[in-house]
Amino acid sequence: MHLQESGEMYLETILILSQRQRYVRSVDVADYMHFSKPSVSRAVSLLKQGEYLTVNSDGFLILTEAGREVAEKIYERHQVLTQLLISIGVSEEVAEDDACKIEHDISDETFLALKRYVRDHKKD
């Protein structure tokens, strides 16, 4: 199953929430993303079908290995792109928003080059 941008965003959100709290539920995702509960429910169903996440008997969302891999990749892109945009003078809020738009479409080659650039030009 090819994952669309929205699926990547859901996985990234579940990863972020799981770093902040012990358990993540669909309602937490809906609150964080400002989406309706039915929209989240549909996305969770699709992500379960694609084997990107499971839901335990208590209703907690758990990323599978494949889901965690996608989520970590997208989250890393978000962080690096945000850092790069801020470093060139973009406000933090705009940098966050723009990074979110770019992170899903940028090629691996370009992202790795930007990541090297940020690393090599990081101010200590």
Return the domain boundaries, the chain: 5-66, 70-120
Nearest to 71 by CA among 109, 17, 118: 17
Kindly give, in sequence order, each residue whose CB lies less than 8 Å from that of residue 85, ignoring residues fewer than 6 positions away.
Answer: 94, 95, 98, 99
pTM: 0.87
**CA distances (Å), origin 37, targets 16, 27, 49, 57:** 18, 6, 18, 18
User: What crossing angle do the helices spanning 5-20 and 26-33 adopt, rounded to 10°?
Assistant: 110
Measure the CA–CA gap between 50 and 107, rounded to whole angstroms: 23
- Residue 81: count other Cβ atoms within 10 Å of its Cβ: 23
70-120 under CATH 1.10.60.10, yes or no? yes
- What pLDDT score was predicted for residue 123? 67
CATH classification number, 5-66, choose in 1.10.150.20, 3.40.50.2000, 3.20.20.100, 1.10.10.10:
1.10.10.10
Residue 121 φ/ψ region, left for φ over 0, alpha for ψ in the -120 to 50 degree band, beta for the rest: alpha
Walking along the chain (124 residues) 10 residues at a time, the average pLDDT comes out as 83 96 96 95 95 96 96 95 93 94 91 90 70
Give the H or E element holding residue 103: none
- What pLDDT score was predicted for residue 104? 87
